Amino acid sequence: MTRRWSIARQLFALQVLVVTLLVAVCTTGAVLLARRDARNAAIGEVTAVAETIAHSPEVVAALRSADPTSVLQPYAETTRLATGTDFIVVMAPDRTRYTHPNTRLIGQPFAGTVAGALAGGVVVEEYRGSLGDSWRTVVPIRARSGAIVGLVSVGIRSATINRSLQAQVPAVASGTAAALLLAATGAWVLSRRLRRQTHGLGPAEMTRMYEYYDAVLHSVREGLVVAGRDGTIELINDEARRLLDLDTDPPRLPGEVADLIAARRTTVDEPIVAGDRILVASHLMTADSQGSVLTLRDHTELRQLTGELDSVRGLTEALRAQAHEAANRLHTVLTLVELGQPEEAIRLGTEELALAQQLTDEVVGAVREPALAALLLGKSAQAAERGVELTVDPASQVNGSPLPARDLLTVVGNLVDNALEAVAGVEPGAPRRVRVLVRQEEGTVVVEVGDTGPGLTPQQADAAFRRGWSTKPGPGRGVGLSLVRQITQRHGGGYAIDSAPGHGAVLTVRIPVPS
C-alpha cells in the first residue's frame, strides 16, 4: 500500500511550486521591462542622432549642392559607425535616398512613414524595411528660413536590440537560480522542522488520530488535565470535569489541584481531597518541561469500603476475642456448677450478660438512627479489643436521620478513629478512654469526641484538619479529619479543638440540619 504524502512533504512541494511560479512571473516581468527599457533607449538614441544630423549646417549645405550623395554618404557612414546605429538615411522631401548602408539603394525611394516629419514633427515607428525589422525615427531637416529641405532617418534593427538583451540573460538567469535555490532551501528546512513536529504524518492520519484520541479522552474513566507552562488548562476531559465538579469555561481548578500544578512537582499516586472526593493524583512534567499532565482517579468509594472493611475486620477480631473470652467464662461457669457452687456460677453469668446488655441499651436508647447505632456498637467492640474504654455520653440524643447517613457516619467514624489512635500511644497504666456525644439541638447536630490521649499543641490543633497532617508517620494518613472538614464546610458548619499537651483532646463538630 502506497503511503500518502506527509504534511511536511506536501507543504514542501506546494512551497516549491508557488516559489517557482512566483520566480517565473517575476523573471518574465523583468525580461519584459528590460526589453521595454532597451527599446526606449534605442528610440532615444536614434532620435538624438537624427536630430543632431538634422541640425548640422554641413548637411543643409550638402542638400543644396549638385551632388548631395558625394558629401552625405561618407558623413552618414562615419556617424553610423560612431553611434552604433544600423542605418542613417538622408533623403529629399520626395523620399529619394541620398545615403544608405547599401549603396545599391541610393537614389531609390525611402520605405517607411514620413508624413509626420514632412508636417514638421518626428516620426517613431517599428518597420520592416530593406534591412529587416527595425525601430526608426524620421526627423525633418530645415533651412535657416525654416523650410524643410530634406529628411533624415536613423534606425536600429530589432535583432541588434535583442542581442543587447541576450547579454543580460546570464545575470537574470543567475538571479533566478539563486532565488529558486534560496527558496527551495528555506522550504526544505521548514518541511524538515514540520516533519519532526508532526512525526511524518499525513492529513488523513492526523485527522484519524485526532478523532481516536478525542474519543479516548472523552470515554476513559480516568480524569486527565493537561496544563501549559504558566498553569493554564490546555485540555481537560469529561471525567476530570466530573471528579472536580467543573462546569465553567475556562475551568477553575480546586485549590489543592491548582497548587499541585503550579508547584510543577512530580508525584505518583498522591491522595488529594477535592470537594467530597478523595482523589489519587499523578503529576508528570512533559519531556520539554513546557507543560504537565495530571491524571486523577476517584478513591472515595474505595476509601469508604476500606474503612468499612477495617471496621468489619476490627469488629470480627473483637467478636473473636469476645467469643474466646466467653468460652473461658462459660468453662468457668460449668466448672463452678460441677464444684457445687451454682449461686456463684449464676452470678458470674448474669454479670457478663448485664454489662453487654447495658452497652446495647445505652447506644440504642440514645441513638435512634440505626446506621449510627450500629457504627457505635462496632466501634465499642473495636475499642474493647484494643483495651480502650469507649462510652456514649448519656446526653446523646439523635432521633431519625437529621443528616444524610453517609455524612453523619463519615464524621462520627473518623472522629472516633482519630480518638482511638490518640489513646493507643499513652503510657502503660495511664487511662485509655474515649467519650462520644452525638445530640441534636436547635437545628444543629453536635458531635463531640473526647479522649485521654497525649493531647495537641496549639500549632498541632490548628493543622489537625488539614489534608495530609497526622501525628503518625506513613503514607495515606491525614485524610479522615480532612474529610470531616470538607463535610462540615459543605453544610455550613464549624469545628473546634479543645486540647492541651498531656490532657487529651476534645474535637467538636457542629453541622446545621438541612431544611
Q: Tens digits of per-residue pLDDT, 224-252? A: 888 888 878 888 888 888 888 887 777 88
Q: How far is CA 105 from the centre of its chain?
A: 85
Q: What pLDDT score does 475 carry?
A: 46
Q: Is residue 5 very low, low, confident or very high in pLDDT (cuts 50, 70, 90)?
A: low
Q: Helices in 386-432 by DSSP H: which ranges?
A: 405-423
Residue 6: closest CA among 172, 136, 155, 195: 195
Number of C-alpha atoms within 13 angstroms, CB side, residue 65? 13
pLDDT digits (tens, 9 = 90+) for 357-414: 555 655 665 566 777 777 777 787 778 777 888 888 888 887 777 778 778 888 888 8
| Residue 410, burial from CB neighbour count under 10 angstroms (0-12, 13-18, 19+) | buried
* CA R_g for the chain: 55
Residues 6+ apart with CB under 8 A from 311: 375, 378, 379, 382, 413
- Distance separating alpha carbons of residues 324 and 322, to the nearest angstrom: 5
CA 295 to chain centre: 17
Q: Which residues contact 424 (CB under 8 A, 6 or more apart)?
A: 386, 388, 432
User: What pLDDT score does 151 carry?
Assistant: 93
pLDDT digits (tens, 9 = 90+) for 69-124: 999 999 999 998 888 888 999 999 999 999 998 888 999 999 888 888 888 898 88
State the Cα–Cα distance between residues 491 and 81, nearest whole angstrom: 111
For residue range 282-318, list pLDDT tens digits in order. 898 887 777 889 988 887 666 666 656 665 665 566 5
pTM: 0.45
Please say whether the beta carbons of 459 and 471 come within 8 A.
Answer: no
Report residue 168's pLDDT band, with 50, 70 and 90 as the boundaries. low
Which of 458, 464, 459 has the alpha carbon at shortest distance from 488? 464
The identity of residue 468, as a single letter, is: G
Distance CA 166, CA 172 (A): 10
Cell of 172: 537574470
Strand partners, 434: 390, 451
Would you state the pLDDT for residue 2? 47
Is the pLDDT at 214 greater than 80? The verdict is no
**CA distance linking residue 153 with residue 89, whole number of Å:** 5
Residue 363, SS3 per DSSP: helix
Say yes or no to pLDDT of 431 above 90. no
Return the axis-axis angle of helices 300-338 and 370-385, rounded to nearest 10°.
60
- 3-state SS, residue 158: helix
